[in-house]
Structure 1
Amino acid sequence: MSPENAPPAPSRPTIGRGEKVRAAVLTAALAELDDIGYAALTMDGVAQRAGVHKTTVYRRWKDRDALILDALTGRIAGDIPIPDTGDLDGDLRALARGLAAWLGSPAGAAVLAVMLSDAARAPGIAEVRAGIFADRLRRAEPVVVRAVERGELPAGIDPAEVIKNLAAPLYFRALITGEPVDERAADRAARAVLAAARHGGLGGDQD
């Protein structure tokens, strides 16, 4: 058979390597979560949707939960940027407002649904949820560290406690009471945390 008459080679994924592949897989994982939920999601399904071989996915992520964790942390990081306004009051208000906007958005609702609604029947979701919140704390803690360096907060304050206390009332409204999670609620949370932090009530030297 001449080369001209040879049957075409089987089609193969055309996505390049590196960041393009990673982005395609993470996007596919989020789409699968939206369409079929956590429990039904598989690595093979994500690979097929992304247009890559499943071995490519397994080389980068050891299992389904590692993939979902990477996808969701990246999504949240993009949706809720970490501010640097130059003062703690501005940073806390911006951070709280960003979280409030995200909690009220379709993307935020979808992520919360993944983290919460499947918890009872999906053992891995607890680890995914813990990883997501740990990543958010790690990203946001520099807001508090910078404030200590500027002399706005007492040395020894616990950055994680500041961020947790900022987010807690907003999550409470979104998940428990169903009250509006708006800029007014965000500003109230920021003022309360700022007052507590300045008086050493969140792990500072005056505890």
Structure 2
Amino acid sequence: MTRRRRGAELERALLDAAWDELNDNGYARFTMDAVVKRAGTSPPVLYRRWPDRDALVKATIVHVLKESRPAVPDTGNLREDLLALMREIATSHVQLVTVMYAHLASYYRETGESPTGLFDPVATGRAAALDALYERAVARGEIAPERLTERVKTLPFVLLRHEILSTFAPVPDHVLEEIVDTIFLPLVR
């Protein structure tokens, strides 16, 4: 007899199954039935939590981004904090970023959503993590807080994502340094 999963354990199993389905087959072939089968559960269990596949895809993306979010470094200096975080993303998250954008292209077309809406930095905890990194830099006097608009805060990571999606490969250190040293830091100092 198999043990019944409940609560957070069940939800995690459903979201993991949904991610595996999305990763293996893309959004175009993503179905609630396939997730049910992969998770080894019944349709009512899935539909009680998410009414349709779009809601499940959104929840799945938030789940995966929360689970894969790297720790925010605290090296004592903004440049090194940014480079350490970007190095982690640039090496260990290349496949994740690539899969999310490639497999979700049809999601964007069908729903009219943009990648920005799907990868909500507040829901995934990324906004709070970056805010902590920047607040430490402001407290150390490294950057001017009035220059930290939401767009400027995310700029190094938008450029990093662009590099990953342009090459589908880990981003070299000299590119990360160029993003931080010649583009980002001059904007905030």
Match of 2:187 in 1: 196
Rounded Cα–Cα distance in structure 2 between residues aligned with 1:179 and 1:196: 27
1:141-181, CA deviations, whole angstroms, 9 ceiling, x for partnerless residues?
33213322333222333352233210232233233477862
Tell whether the 8 Å contact from 1:82 to 1:140 is kept in structure 2 after alignment. no
Tell whether the 8 Å contact from 1:14 to 1:51 is kept in structure 2 after alignment. no
Rounded Cα–Cα distance in structure 1 between residues aligned with 2:67 and 2:174: 23
Match of 1:167 in 2: 157
Question: How many Å apart are 1:82 and its aligned residue?
Answer: 3.8
Max Rg structure: 1
Match of 1:44 in 2: 33
Counting only pairs closer than 5 Å after superposition, residues 69-148 of structure 1 correspond to structure 2 as 69-85=58-74, 86-104=76-94, 106-116=95-105, 118-119=106-107, 121-123=109-111, 126-127=113-114, 129-134=116-121, 135=124, 136-148=126-138
Tell whether the 8 Å contact from 2:14 to 2:39 is kept in structure 1 after alignment. yes
More helix by share: 2
- What amino acid is aligned across from residue 196 of structure 1 in structure 2? L
Rounded Cα–Cα distance in structure 2 between residues aligned with 1:18 and 1:46: 17
Question: How many Å apart are 1:32 and its aligned residue?
Answer: 0.7
Rounded Cα–Cα distance in structure 1 between residues aligned with 2:165 and 2:117: 17
Tell whether the 8 Å contact from 1:81 to 1:98 is kept in structure 2 after alignment. yes
Match of 2:49 in 1: 60
1:113-135, CA deviations, whole angstroms, 9 ceiling, x for partnerless residues?
1233x2564226x2565231534
TM-score, with normalisation over the residues of structure 2?
0.79
- What amino acid is aligned across from residue 18 of structure 1 in structure 2? G
Tell whether the 8 Å contact from 1:147 to 1:153 is kept in structure 2 after alignment. yes
Alpha-carbon distance change, 120 to 63 in structure 1, aligned in 2, over 3 angstroms: closer
- What amino acid is aligned across from residue 110 of structure 2 in structure 1? A
- What amino acid is aligned across from residue 40 of structure 1 in structure 2? R
- What amino acid is aligned across from residue 27 of structure 1 in structure 2? D
Tell whether the 8 Å contact from 1:73 to 1:132 is kept in structure 2 after alignment. yes
The answer to which structure, 1 or 2, has the higher relative contact order (CA under 8 A, 6+ apart) is 2
Match of 1:6 in 2: none
How many residue pairs are counted as aligned between the two chains? 184
Tell whether the 8 Å contact from 1:144 to 1:162 is kept in structure 2 after alignment. no
Alpha-carbon distance change, 187 to 39 in structure 1, aligned in 2, over 3 angstroms: same
Tell whether the 8 Å contact from 2:17 to 2:35 is kept in structure 1 after alignment. yes
1:19-49, CA deviations, whole angstroms, 9 ceiling, x for partnerless residues?
2101111110011112221022122321221
Alpha-carbon distance change, 145 to 57 in structure 1, aligned in 2, over 3 angstroms: farther
Cα RMSD of the aligned pairs, angstroms, is 2.8
Secondary structure, in 3 states, of the residue corresponding to 1:122? helix
Secondary structure, in 3 states, of the residue corresponding to 1:60? coil
